[in-house]
Each structure stands twice: as C-alpha cells, then as structure tokens.
Amino acid sequence: MYNFEEITQKVKENLSDFRFQHSLRVSEYAQELAKKNNYDIQKAKLAGLVHDYAKESSNEEFLFYIDKYKLDPELKKWKTPIWHGIVGAYIIKEKLGIEDEDVLHAISVHTTGDIEMTILDKILYMADWLEPGRDFSETLDAIKTKTEANLDYGIAQQLSFALDFLSRKKEAIYPKTLYAYNYWVGGIK
Ligand SMILES: [Fe+2]
Ligand SMILES: [Fe+2]
C-alpha cells in the first residue's frame, strides 16, 4: 500500500490536469460530507482522490481487465462512463494497492448508483456531482444544501437527473442505474 502522497502522485500522473483537479475537489468535498455524517474522513478522502483514476484508460485496457478479472461479459457492451467505476475499482486495487473494500465498492458504484448504498457509496456519489467545480445553477445549489442535511435526498435527485439527462440524449441506461432509480425515486422497495 502506498501512502497518501504517493497515491496522489500516481493519480496526477495518470490523469489530465482537468480531471486531477476534479479528483482533488471531490476528495475535499467528500471529507466535508463525511464530517456531516460522522463517517471516517480518511476513507472519504481516499475514495474521492482515486475515484476517476481509470477514467482516461483506453478501451483495450478496460476490455483486458474485464477478461483478466472474469467480470460479467455483458460489461463489454458498455463504455468508459460505466467501465471506469466497475472495472476501475479492479484497476485501482491492482495499480494503487488499495485493498479497502469500502473504498473499492464506493468507486465501483460511483457512476451508476445502486439500490443498496453504504454511507461511503453515498458520500462519493454525491461529492462527484456536487464538488464546487461543477457549473452551479440555483437548482443545484438548493440540492447541495439539502444533500448536506440528508444524503438520501441527494441520491434521489441525482438519479432522477441522470435518467432525465440520458433519456433526452437517447442513451442507454445501465440496468443497475435503472434499478437504483426505481428504488430511490420510484419507491419500489
Ligand atoms: Fe467518475
Ligand atoms: Fe468524477
């Protein structure tokens, strides 16, 4: 396991500056959300820092890891937006030596959401969306305030936004996201 500085350096080397800066902001904001939810600040800090580590990997690399770790072959039909979370968690474990299953799980679901989400899953999912570098509208501002008081509120808002955004672009919706939407927004428990 590398120390935090070493991991930061590795993330920096693997990403464009734009995405590295986003990662630092997610890490910062994840710590704030952790404080508000009495959660382990170090875990939130680490999850935020590394969550997009694999986002600029090539398609070939993702496909290689899907085979290497014998992941669901259905995953091959998807692309980077899905891969960098689910497959990214394996890449991060291997390349950064991160073994913490809570952190790896949060990375795995940070692009899709899920029906069952731990506090760390929720913190990372929301920090990724609400980090201060995002283009803030009044709507997002209000969502941020309410999310800081109640993570579950934010989860429902983000899933609703994601479904709306993807369907308007006529893009496929990953099944896990659809199930998560039905659970968190549609009230199918
Ligand atoms: Fe991401
Ligand atoms: Fe991100």
Distance 84 CA to ligand 1 centre (A): 7
Distance 186 CA to ligand 2 centre (A): 25
User: What number does CATH give the domain 4-184?
Assistant: 1.10.3210.10
Distance 51 CA to ligand 1 centre (A): 6
Query: Can you give the pLDDT at residue 135?
Result: 86
Measure the CA angle with vertex 38, ends 34 and 40; round to 5°: 60
Distance 70 CA to ligand 1 centre (A): 22
**Of 124, 146, 147, nearest in space to 47 by CA:** 124
Distance 28 CA to ligand 2 centre (A): 13
Domain ranges of the chain: 4-184
CA gap 19, 27 in Å, rounded: 12
- Number of neighbouring beta carbons within 10 Å of residue 100: 16
Query: Can you give the pLDDT at residue 3?
Result: 96
Query: Can you give the pLDDT at residue 14?
Result: 98
Query: Can you give the pLDDT at residue 136?
Result: 82
The bound ligand whose nearest atom lies closest to the alpha carbon of 111 is: 1
Distance 149 CA to ligand 1 centre (A): 23
Pick out the chain residues at pLDDT < 50: none
Distance 52 CA to ligand 1 centre (A): 5
Cβ(122)–Cβ(43) below 8 Å = no
The bound ligand whose nearest atom lies closest to the alpha carbon of 30 is: 2
**pLDDT digit string (tens) for 93-145?**
999 999 999 999 999 999 999 999 999 999 999 999 999 999 888 999 999 99
